Amino acid sequence: MKHLLSIEELNADQIEDILSLAAMLKKDRKASPQVLTGQQWALIFTKSSTRTRVSFEVGVRELGGQVMFLSGADIQLGRGEPIKDTARVMGRMIHGAIIRTFAQQDVVEFAEYSGIPTINALTDDEHPCQILADLQTINERFGTWKGKRVAFLGDGDCNVARSWIWASARLGFELVIGAPKEFQPAASFMARVPGNTVTITDDPKAAVEGIDAIYTDVWVSMGKEAEGAERIEILKPWQIGADLMKHAKKEAIVMHCLPAYRGKEITEEVLENHANVIFDQAENRLHAQKAVLVTCVRG
C-alpha cells in the first residue's frame, strides 16, 4: 500500500493490519520506528483543521521525519495551477504528501503524478483517517467491531458517513445510516457498495435501537455554510440528546469526530457523559495516522 486515498480502496486485511500497528504504536510511543528519518513531508491543506494538522505534524516527527505546512494561499494551487503540475514539482523535492482539500480527484491526481506516498486527510468524498481512528476506538471499547452495530446520525451523505459505509462493507459489521430523506446517501452511491451490511432509515428512534456505537458529525460542513440555517432546521430531530439515548442500549457509546457544536447535533449533557470516548477518538487520530504513514512508506 503506497497511498491512502479512501476506505473504498482498502480491503479487510489492510484495514486490520493498520489497526493492529496503530495499537502497537499507541502502547509505546517512544518505540515508534524511525521510518521517516531524513524525509521531508508536506501537509497541503486547502481546508483548515485542528486535529488533523496537529496529529499529522506530531506523527511525522515521532517517526523521524520533518514536515512543512502549506495552505492554499501558500502554493500556486490557490492561483489556478493544475494539481498535476504541483504534484510533478513536489514529487521531485519531498518524500510524501498529506492533503486535506475539497475534491477527491485532486488527491487521486496528486498521487498519480507525484509518484510519492499520498494520504487523504479529508476530501468532500471521504475521510479515511478519521474512520481508522474510530475503528481503533471501537476496538479499544469492545475488543472487536465484529458483531457490533454502529449508527451514524445526521447528514448521512457526508464524507464521514461515506467512509463508514465503506468500512462496514469491507469489514462486515452492521451500519445504520439515520438521516432525513434529503440527507440520505444517493442511490447511485449505494449501488456501488457491495453486500447488505448497511441499513438506511429516516426514523431517529429506530436508528439507535440495539446500537452499540452512536456516531454524529457537524451538520454544516465546510463549504455548506450558505445552507446552514436550512440544514440545522431539517436535522433538528436527529440531535443526540437524553430522549434519543433512551432508545439505545444502556451501554451504548457515543462518538463524534469533532469539532462538536453543542446544542445542535449533540447536547452538552450527552457529549460530556461520553467525553472519554470522544477524546479517545481524537487521540487515536495520531496513532492510526502514524500506522498509515509507516504502512505507506514500507509499501
Torsion angle of the four alpha carbons 288, 290, 295, 297, in this order, in degrees rounded to the nearest 10: 160
- 129 annotated ligand binder: yes
Q: Provide the mean pLDDT of the chain.
A: 96
- 231 annotated ligand binder: no
Residue 201 banded pLDDT, cuts 50, 70, 90: very high
Q: Is 100 exposed, middle or buried (0-12, 13-18, 19+ CB in 10 A)?
A: buried
DSSP secondary structure of 244-292: HHTTS-TT-EEEE-S---BTTTB-HHHHHHTHHHHHHHHHHHHHHHHHH
Phi and psi torsions of 16, nearest 5°: -65, -40
| Stretch 150-168: mean pLDDT | 98
- 256 annotated ligand binder: no
- 221 annotated ligand binder: yes
Length in residues, the chain: 299
Residue 79 banded pLDDT, cuts 50, 70, 90: low
Helix segments in 63-100, DSSP class H: 83-91
- 257 annotated ligand binder: yes
- 285 annotated ligand binder: yes
- 222 annotated ligand binder: yes
Coil vs helix vs strand at 169: helix
- The model's pLDDT over 15-26, given as tens digits with 9 standing for 90+, comes to 999 999 999 999
pLDDT value, residue 81? 84
Grid cell digits, residue 182? 434529503
| Chain-centre distance for alpha carbon 187 | 22
| Stretch 278-289: mean pLDDT | 98
Output the pTM of the full model: 0.96
Say whether pLDDT at 76 is over 80. no
- 158 annotated ligand binder: no
- 216 annotated ligand binder: no
- The model's pLDDT over 160-183, given as tens digits with 9 standing for 90+, comes to 999 999 999 999 999 999 999 999
| Stretch 64-79: mean pLDDT | 83
Domains in the chain, CATH or no CATH each: 3-127+285-298 (3.40.50.1370), 130-282 (3.40.50.1370)
Grid cell digits, residue 212? 452499540
- 130 annotated ligand binder: yes
| Stretch 49-72: mean pLDDT | 96
- 128 annotated ligand binder: yes
Coil vs helix vs strand at 52: helix
pLDDT value, residue 80? 76
Crossing angle of the two packed helices 159-171 and 128-142, in degrees rounded to 10: 60
Q: Give ∠ CA 295-298-299 in degrees, rounded to 5.
A: 80
- 68 annotated ligand binder: no
